[in-house]
Amino acid sequence: MRRFSSAIALALLLSALPSQAQESGRQEEKESKRDAVELTWMSIANWYFKVGPLRIVMDGYITRVPQRIFVRSQQFPADQYAFTSEPWSSNATDVLRVRYALEAEGRLDYVLAGHSHFDHTYDTALWAALTGAEIIGGHSTCLQARSQGLPASQCTEVSGSWVTGHGERLQLAKGVTVRVVRFNHSGNASNPFQHFGRELSGPPTPDAATGGFRAGVAEDFPNGGGGRAFLFTTGEDGDRLSFFVNNSASAFDLNAPVTVGGVSFGSPLENLAAAMRDAGLTHVDAWIGTGGLAVAQLVVPVLRPKVYIPNHWDGLFNPFWAGLPFPFKDANLAAYLDAQGIQLMPQQQYFDKYRLDENGVTMQSNREVKQRLGFSDVQPFSPATASVARAVSAAMGPEDCDQ
Ligand SMILES: [Zn+2]
Ligand SMILES: [Zn+2]
């Protein structure tokens, strides 16, 4: 898909809304003011959002590309996921199991892609193909989808730039608006393939024998020019609910412009501030965030969240079906949030569900969905496992995508 201005993008989006979303939007129009938001965490940076009448998957990476096939960059040894030794295929069986566990009828309206790395968009096109949902993501995400046979019309390319003071404000259904915010990626100059804005130049070529792709961040799955974060609002005027989700960030240059090929897409912090102004928000109800303390110290003054839900903290290579591999622990972040009066609400199991309504955020066990997938309500950790895992977790540091 060609790049287009945000005004044209919005017009295209409004005209390209899936009919099912429009229909359910009409049906539930009367209730939209009171609609709650449901946020279900599906591991790593994978989410299932129910916002008003809409059903949305973010990222949706259920396949686990194995760590053993990754080859670090010789030039930049900190870029440990730059290349791969062999192609890898998506696991359609596992994606289907999750799809049908979420909703009996499996309906899905949108798949949002935060950035185009393997641990985010490896299954994004598959979700869209299985459900008819429209992808909203960056240039590389849409090229990845095209390589997997999706028509260009099923992927809407968004930039997230607010350099002109205006940006993409997408009305996904009656009363449900998302503003796209260009963000950066974790890391720094020591791992430039992972960190700096990097887009595909064309659709990657699937492996002739297997149909798989090369998962490396310097191969078929670059970061896609930093990342796209999403600021959601739903409801009307005084009854609005809001949340912000980003799936990678680095304090290294969060206030510097994200550039790709010399073109600036604005600094993440300025883009976020502009989107907040455009939405008329001085705070959000929840931030689904990454980057630990260093990123929180920069983002919190702009976003002023009431609740912080950690994202992308459980590693990249742990088996999905075993459930949560270790408990969340980040003492520095927890202390900072506490001092700011922000409630930290970490997950205790895959498919934990957060409900956001006029009373704030509450956690729900989501037992039915967990049982369909074979997960316990709360992941049991022996004291020994928990202490080993805490050490691993602490050693990972605050950077997602590069533990
Ligand atoms: Zn990641
Ligand atoms: Zn990444």
**Cα of 119 from ligand 1 centre, angstroms:** 5
In this structure, which amino acid lies at residue 335? A
**Cα of 165 from ligand 2 centre, angstroms:** 27
pLDDT digits (tens, 9 = 90+) for 363-379: 998 999 999 999 999 99
**Cα of 291 from ligand 2 centre, angstroms:** 12
**Cα of 223 from ligand 2 centre, angstroms:** 6
**Cα of 114 from ligand 2 centre, angstroms:** 9
Around ion ligand 2, which residues have CB less than 5 A away?
117, 248, 401
> At residue 56, does pLDDT exceed 60?
yes
**Cα of 44 from ligand 1 centre, angstroms:** 7
Of the bound ligands, which one is closest to the alpha carbon of residue 221?
A: 2
**Cα of 145 from ligand 1 centre, angstroms:** 18
- Extract the tokens encoding 402: 């590069």
| Spatial contact of 134 and 147, defined as CB atoms under 8 Å apart | no
C-beta pairs of 377-382 under 8 Å, 24+ apart in sequence: 377/349, 378/348, 378/349, 379/323, 379/324, 379/327, 379/348, 379/349, 379/350, 381/326, 381/327
**Cα of 72 from ligand 2 centre, angstroms:** 15
List the single range of 16-20, 248-252, 275-279, 320-324 with lowest mean pLDDT: 16-20
**Cα of 377 from ligand 2 centre, angstroms:** 29
**Cα of 212 from ligand 1 centre, angstroms:** 20
| CA 70/CA 341 separation, integer angstroms | 41
Question: For residue 401, what pLDDT is reported?
Answer: 65
Per domain, the residue ranges of the chain are 6-391
Instruction: Report the pLDDT averaged over residues 59-82.
Output: 98
Would you tell me which CATH number, out of the four given (3.60.15.10, 3.40.50.720, 3.30.1120.10, 3.90.1150.10), belongs to the domain 6-391?
Answer: 3.60.15.10
pLDDT digits (tens, 9 = 90+) for 146-184: 999 999 999 999 999 999 999 999 999 999 999 999 999
**Cα of 60 from ligand 2 centre, angstroms:** 14
Question: For residue 394, what pLDDT is reported?
Answer: 47
**Cα of 63 from ligand 2 centre, angstroms:** 15
**Cα of 186 from ligand 1 centre, angstroms:** 9
**Cα of 401 from ligand 1 centre, angstroms:** 4
> Does pTM surpass 0.85?
yes
